[in-house]
Amino acid sequence: MAEPTPTPVRRGRATIVDVAAAARVSKSLASRALRGEPGVSEESRRRINEAAESLGYRINSAARSLVLGVSGLIGVILNDIGNQHHTAIVAGVEAEARERGAEVILAHGGHSVSELQSRIDTMVGLRVDGLIIVSSWVPHATLDTVGREIPTVVVARLDDPPESIDTIASDDEAGARAAVEQLLATGRRRIGYVTRSASATSAARGRGLDQALTQVGIRGSQHVLPRDDTGDLRALLARREFDAVLLNNDQTAADVIRVARDLGISVPTDLAVIGYDDTPLAAALIPTLSSVDQPQQLMGRRAVQALAERQNGRTEPLREFFPPTLVVRDSSAPTTAEPTTTEPPTAKPPSAGGAQA
């Protein structure tokens, strides 16, 4: 009767103590029941669940992870959430994590290395059980540090990954080789590689191109263009140096197709084009774009497996490379008609143009 406050001054959300009180049991019993553990009478279990329901109880995972020492969380760091190659990897991560009962949270540091590092700090602070970094931008030292703290796998090609982390990538040299071989098989000889990236990945693809061309005794040309510049691309294509180009990604390939069209260069008749990553863009373009596909789903899944292996004690670093697949579409289809180049008809010279690595 003289009770001051029947309902205790609820600070915020209902806690397990509130639930226990409402169900008139101890918090230990409530904890067990709520987790579905055995050793709780049906009657108690019912009352506890009822109380939890009516109070809108939600477990506080901060408290839980504090006492357990694990969070059940896998953290994923991206540097380009708008890149469909990266998000496809995330899909694989999520699929595998779901099957293993882990939750996936993502963080995105798109603008700078320091931002990426800050996202990593957040994840580590959150005590994620493992970290998957879909980016090649994170410095060696940062990776080494975090790798010593928690299981970490980088899904990207790294020049010199620290021992403390695992890496998963696709075989970029093989991917580029496959592309070039298809171009050679359809009679192309003046083959170039154009990229807007200075990454290890891009460099590896350039090497793959060289390997394939060297094998048949001709030289290719490689061109590194500034990011986000279309003028250089136009100038390059206007020289009509090649009859086929491999690009470092589908977006750049789309730019090539558009610029070529503006210049009156017909794709694929005058110029075959092959992109990389086989994003949805490739199938949407006109002509549809041939592209080197990476098994992103598999790579994502494997990353989660690698995390689990580390948790189970593996200490040797994993270095895994998945084989890519060339998807041939219209942009590199065999040409039946003669090239309509405005250049002199040196259509298929056994030697090639260009320079500059």
Partner DNA sequence: TTGTAGGCGTTATCAT
Partner DNA sequence: ATGATAACGCCTACAA
Residues that bind DNA (CB under 7 A): 11-13, 15-17, 24-29, 31-32, 34-35, 38-41, 43-44, 57-60, 63-64, 66-69
**Residue 91 Cα to chain centre, angstroms:** 9
Determine contact, residues 206/176, Cβ cutoff 8 Å: yes
Least CB distance to a copy of itself at residue 50 (A): 17
Closer of 4 and 56 to a copy of itself (Cβ):
56
Based on CB atoms, which residue is closest to a copy of itself, 95 or 298?
95
Taking alpha carbons only, the member of 114, 132, 23, 34 closest to residue 77 is 132
Tokens found for residue 345: 């008809």
The entry of DNA, a copy of itself, none near residue 6 (CB within 5 to 8 angstroms by kind) is none
Beta strands in 63-180 (DSSP E): 73-78, 103-108, 130-134, 152-155, 166-170
331 contacts 272 by C-beta, under 8 angstroms: yes
What would the two tokens of residue 64 be? 């839980």
Quick one: tokens of 124? 């580590």
Identify the residue among 280, 313, 345, 350 touching a copy of itself (CB under 8 A): 280
Q: Name the residue with tokens 């061109």.
A: 223
Q: Under rule CB under 8 A, which residues in 36-65 are in contact with a copy of itself?
A: 56, 58-63, 65
| Rounded Cα gap, residues 218 and 288, in angstroms | 28
Binding mask 294-323 vs a copy of itself (x if CB under 8 A, - otherwise)? ------------------------------
Please list, in sequence order, all residues whose beta carbon lies within 8 angstroms of the beta carbon of residue 95, skipping any fewer than 6 positions away. 297, 300, 301
Q: Which CB sits closer to DNA, 43 or 228? A: 43
Residue pair 47/21 in contact by the 8 Å Cβ criterion: no
298 touches 90 (CB < 8 A): no
The SS3 call for residue 111 is coil
Specify the stretch interacting with a copy of itself by CB under 8 A; choose among 106-114, 132-140, 318-326, 336-344: 106-114
Binding-site residue total for a copy of itself (CB under 8 A)? Answer: 54
Rounded Cα distance, 107 and 315, in Å = 26
Residue from 37, 53, 99, 149 in contact with a copy of itself (CB under 8 A) = 149
- The contact mask relative to a copy of itself for 154-193 (x = CB under 8 A, - = no) is ----------------------------------------
17 binds a copy of itself (CB under 8 A): no
Q: Which residues bind a copy of itself (CB under 8 A)?
A: 11-13, 56, 58-63, 65-66, 69, 71, 81-82, 84, 87-88, 90-91, 94, 98, 103-108, 110, 115, 118-119, 121-122, 124-127, 145, 148-149, 251, 254-255, 257-258, 261, 280-281, 284-286, 288
